Amino acid sequence: MPPNGTDRDALVNRQLPEMELSDGTAASLTGPPPPIPHYLNPEGRARYRFGVEGNAIVTGGAGTLALEGARALLEHGVSGLALFDINPAHAEAAIAALQDDFPDANVIAKKVNVTDADNVNAAVRETAEELGSVDVLCCFAGVVGCTHAIDMSPEEWRRVLEINTTGSFLCAQAAARQMIEQKSKGSIVFIASMSGHRVNYPQPQVAYNVSKASLLHLKNCLAAEWARHGIRVNTISPGYMDTILNEGAGLERARNSWASRNPMGRMGLPEELTGPLILLTSHAGSYINGADILVDGGAVVF
């Protein structure tokens, strides 16, 4: 039905909200970074360049890739680390090992459902109180399913999009609000996928692919809106990674197919994601915003 007069007046007279960009001056949160201290030797300059300051949240924190990323963040200097997961007890020993290996850092774990906005907001506030600030967010939380599109239930479609896309947005929104309140710079990294760039083969996984493609554009939108607050938003798009999720005799045909269609002839190792993660969260990434780094051995070149 056409809108009535009142509705039409409201429609044609509405004012659109407008995003605001930074002016890039030294007084802004996007101004040029200070030079590397001149008194440092070459090794010190290298360490400073890839140093990660402040405190970090890693979602999906009980997973293999997230734990590898968390260890790298600690190695490069974060003073506090919060691991969010729907069931952090699954990685209790690995989380304890992080604290043992980095006794000067504060490592905490929280049970968090990334699709529950109230839960996420509360967890971020608690993290800021316990660690002192939130400066880095790395979103690893995600699920995958392999179902033919013709057979996919609405429930499965919604579940994958809700966790992978909406969950990442809710975590980013909560972290950004905290960073803005702190009036400090921040870095947000979504773990997207090469699946957001192309259709995977041989497995059908339409919901997963769409959820990761959504992350790529979510990253673009947030990078534009939040830059003025000193918040950089980027993505990493892994290819097939050699984790427990991709093991087992039932996946042998798929693993052989993935390797044979890759220029490097193999799957990636979890630690091969840590270099890009540190680049994007460290001083070295201070002018990287709205970027996606493919870490797939060259799979998408075909």
Question: Tell me, what amino acid is at 253?
Answer: R
Asked if 23 and 32 count as a contact pair (C-beta separation under 8 A), the reply is no
pLDDT tens-digit readout, 36-72: 999 999 999 999 999 999 999 999 999 999 999 999 9
Select which of 208, 219, 240, 282 is catalytic: 208
CA distances from 92 to 75, 86, 102, 289 (A): 20, 13, 16, 34
Select which of 193, 211, 237, 282 is catalytic: 193
Asked if 134 and 128 count as a contact pair (C-beta separation under 8 A), the reply is yes
Asked if 180 and 128 count as a contact pair (C-beta separation under 8 A), the reply is no
CATH no. of 39-297 = 3.40.50.720
Select which of 212, 214, 219, 237 is catalytic: 212
Question: Tell me, what amino acid is at 97?
Answer: A
pLDDT tens-digit readout, 79-136: 999 999 999 999 999 999 999 999 999 999 999 999 999 999 999 999 999 999 999 9
Judge whether 212 counts as a catalytic residue: yes
pLDDT-derived band at 256, boundaries 50, 70, 90: confident
pTM for this prediction: 0.93
Mean pLDDT of 195-209: 94
Judge whether 287 counts as a catalytic residue: no
- Decide which of 203 and 294 is more confident: 294
pLDDT-derived band at 260, boundaries 50, 70, 90: confident
pLDDT tens-digit readout, 205-239: 999 999 999 999 999 999 999 999 999 999 999 99
pLDDT-derived band at 157, boundaries 50, 70, 90: very high
* DSSP state for residue 163 in the 8-state scheme: I
Mean pLDDT of 244-268: 81
